[in-house]
Amino acid sequence: MATLQKIRNRGPVIAIVIGIALVAFLLGDISKIFSSNEQNIAEINGKSVSLMDYQISYNNYEQGFKMLTGETSISDANKKYVKSQVWNKIVQDYALSSTYKELGIDVSGMELAKIISGENIQTGLDPLTKQVFSDKSGNFNVQAAVNFFSNSSETKDGARVAKFLEEEMKNNRKYTKYMALISKGINVTNLEAKNLYKERTEIVDFDYAVKKYNTIPDSSINVSDAELEKYYEEHKAEYEQKHTRDIAYVTFNILPSEEDKKVAREELEYYKKEFKEISVDSTNQDIINYINANSQVKFSYPHVSFDELKDSSLFYANSNEVFGPVLENGSYVMKRVFDRTSIPDSIEVRHILIQPDGKKIADMKRAKEVADSLLNLIKKGADFAEIAKENSIYKQSAEKGGDLEMLAESSFLNQFGPEFSDECFKSKKGELKIVETKYGVHIAEIIGMSKDSNEKVRLALLSQEVRPGNTTVSAYFAKARDFSSNSDNSIEKFNKLVEKEGYTKRIANNIAPETEVIAGIENPSSIINWIFNDDTEKESVSSAFQDGDMFIVGIVTEVREEGIAPLNQIKNQITAKVVKQKKAEKFVSEMKGETNLVKSAKNISFSSSRLNDDGIEYNVIATAVYSEKDKISEPIIGENGVYVLKVSSKTGIDNIDKIDVSNDKNNAQRRFYFRVSREAFDAVKEAADVIDDRYKFM
């Protein structure tokens, strides 16, 4: 199976490679993805989204993501990313398909041809297709894309892949056009620009007095149920809420027992004699292969100095001595010195990487022949940098004449592996050599190194992680199960048990069906499914959920249904508002006729937000800007207190029509465009009345 790296490097044969690889990965064998299933996971714009359609899209994008990363599986974090991308794509298509028709938005065959031919390729391609045809540096390879689409019809598989990618491009282009229509429909008028200029440049100074709400305790204000009801009825619209839940939960971390440690140690001891007898030679490949085959941590260790190792007995040990097993960071480890040498801390190398492309350079044998030929040219006086620019497949350094800059050994190991790193670090300055690695054939020249070479050793490490055994896991499960049972679907009992057993109670609020992350929980999907199960109510206690190396028991502490929150659910919030309102009324009464204005504010404009150390006070600032000079205001109800002010100075402009306000207009226009790009998709989702039931199936 061709990897993505091979696809990117083969240029003219891109059609053949992608025709085989992308069909297998992107499209897959759909019959294996799902069984016949008509269940619906969502409703968008009144149209049902079937589980089947979602699974097909998810599988396509997941496999495409594997192609892009070169991995055979994807991490949980990347699964969440793919899940989000697929869902947004489905919402976009379902929500806007009818809108596209009404507005006449479409992509013609000619337009698609221009996108594919490179004439309009950067604005028309969707992110997935851009990544497929990008090189190592992340730059879009126009010629590779053109070659593929030009030759895709030569095979049935190639045609299918091309059709899939063309649909992605068309949908992406339609959405781009739709967003352009919205953006062009938003315009800042000259009048608005003039007002913005005035809000920015008209300045006032004023004196003021303030009575802060926090100067009297909330407990001194009596609030009746009738007052709460009245405020609630007048402000209901402010308390619209989504379908969410709050939970409290405790975790039971599954820690290995002493018996588990004994088992892990004995498993590693089994390899000790064999590990000791592995031969050490100039290449050390046998011992590296042994580590990679038997250790849970693969070989990737640089040489270390005495100061770095901080273990004299190990540093000066013979190569046939084995130390351990010893417990380090949750794993038993055996160590053996297998290489001792004097090397610099860092070196500067320039290199040319020749890599098989399946055509001009058919295989590694041919790559070696090309490298030998180029090396001879360099030895005869040819410019290394120019040859690197023209021939090296490693574009990051090729553009700099092949220079990798000064790097430590660990950096070379991470980028190119031990073969290349070892050859370079054991070479002399000015030395030219050819090195074969899994990446291809390198022509390397050592052009610099740190001043001092130090004696260093390399360690072979066999590692065995200590894992909880079945008996240990069962014991922790029983503990979590008993906690769940004894909580008896009661918040009060749950909290008493937490306190009695000394557990840490965690809180997760405003969990929605589409929530993907709960702090402290690696894979929250199971517990989210339980939270929104039809049988789960407030004070329901979960069974014990396993999440990696821990069990979780949760309790639902609040249930919010979509719509206006009932008063009893937000009583504390409403009470705080009414208390503040009553304090404001009291202060307004007390401050009428106030003349002792002891505080001052300077250089305040309408666009200001903060009033000295009194906090954000938009209402007070707006009142000051539009007040008459030298006139004491009526009491002003602010966010943090009640104010009385008098404007002492006003600076403005006489004739706004003579002012050039183009900068204000352009800046405002950019802000509007930014808001459109940031908020438009959320608005589309809201208008589409999306009912998302994915949590019931995933």
pLDDT of residue 426: 85
Which tokens belong to 283?
A: 């290449």
Please name the CATH architecture into which domain 244-255+469-561 falls.
Answer: Roll (3.10)
Higher pLDDT, 159 or 406: 406
pLDDT of residue 137: 59
pLDDT of residue 68: 55
Q: pLDDT confidence of 444, banded at 50, 70, 90?
A: very high
- In angstroms, the CA 541 to CA 491 distance is 9
Mean pLDDT of 513-538: 90
pLDDT of residue 171: 83
Amino acid at residue number 512? A
**Comparing C-alpha atoms, which of 689, 544, 692 is closest to residue 244?**
692
pLDDT of residue 127: 61
The answer to whether 243 and 528 are in contact (CB under 8 A) is: no
Amino acid at residue number 611? L
Pick the range with the lowest mean pLDDT from 119-128, 195-204, 481-490, 649-658: 119-128
**Comparing C-alpha atoms, which of 150, 171, 176 is closest to residue 162?**
150
Query: Fold for domain 346-451?
Result: Chitinase A; domain 3 (3.10.50)
Pick the range with the lowest mean pLDDT from 67-76, 515-524, 581-590: 67-76
The upper half-sphere exposure of residue 546, i.e. CA atoms within 13 Å in the direction of its Cβ, equals 9
**Comparing C-alpha atoms, which of 186, 146, 210, 160 is closest to residue 21?**
160
Indicate if the pLDDT at residue 108 is higher than 60: yes
Q: pLDDT confidence of 632, banded at 50, 70, 90?
A: very high
Note if the pTM is more than 0.75: no
Mean pLDDT of 18-37: 39
Work out the end-to-end distance of the chain between its first and last CA atoms, rounded to an integer number of angstroms. Answer: 30
pLDDT of residue 28: 41
3-state secondary structure of 566: coil
- In angstroms, the CA 460 to CA 438 distance is 21
CA distances from 470 to 255, 474, 475, 550 (A): 12, 6, 9, 13
The answer to whether 313 and 459 are in contact (CB under 8 A) is: no
State percent of the chain over pLDDT 70. 88
Indicate if the pLDDT at residue 423 is higher than 50: yes
What is the tens place of the pLDDT at every residue in 238-279? 999 989 999 999 999 999 999 999 999 999 999 999 999 888
DSSP state of 654: S
CA distances from 654 to 198, 608, 629 (A): 11, 21, 16
pLDDT of residue 27: 41
Indicate if the pLDDT at residue 158 is higher than 70: no
Please name the CATH architecture into which domain 203-240+568-651 falls.
Answer: Roll (3.10)
What is the tens place of the pLDDT at every residue in 334-352? 999 988 888 888 999 999 9
pLDDT of residue 107: 87
Which tokens belong to 8?
A: 């990117």
pLDDT of residue 56: 82
pLDDT of residue 9: 39
Which tokens belong to 81?
A: 């990313």
Cβ contacts of residue 500 below 8 Å, gap of 6+?
Answer: none
Indicate if the pLDDT at residue 696 is higher than 80: no
Buried b (16+ CB within 10 A) or exposed e, 673-693: eeebeeeebeebbeebebbbb
Max avg pLDDT among 45-54, 243-252, 352-361: 243-252
> Given this chain, do its domains 203-240+568-651 and 244-255+469-561 carry the same CATH topology?
yes
3-state secondary structure of 310: coil
What is the tens place of the pLDDT at every residue in 558-582? 999 989 999 999 999 999 999 999 9
Q: pLDDT confidence of 176, banded at 50, 70, 90?
A: confident
Residue ranges of the alpha helices (H) in 538-626? Answer: 571-591, 618-625
Higher pLDDT, 249 or 686: 249
Measured over the CA atoms of residue 413, residue 417, residue 422 and residue 427, the dihedral's sign is negative
**For all residues of the chain together, what is the average pLDDT?**
85
Indicate if the pLDDT at residue 605 is higher than 70: yes
pLDDT of residue 150: 73
Long-range residue pairs from 387-391, CB within 8 A, at least 24 positions apart, any chain: 387/352, 388/350, 388/351, 388/352, 391/352, 391/354
- The DSSP line for 63-81 is HHHHHHHT-SS--HHHHHH
Higher pLDDT, 686 or 228: 228
Indicate if the pLDDT at residue 437 is higher than 80: yes
- In angstroms, the CA 250 to CA 495 distance is 10
In angstroms, how far apart are the furthest CA atoms of the chain?
97
pLDDT of residue 580: 96
Amino acid at residue number 145? A
Domain ranges of the chain: 4-184, 203-240+568-651, 244-255+469-561, 258-342, 346-451
What is the tens place of the pLDDT at every residue in 457-514? 989 999 999 999 999 999 999 999 999 999 999 999 999 999 999 999 999 999 998 8
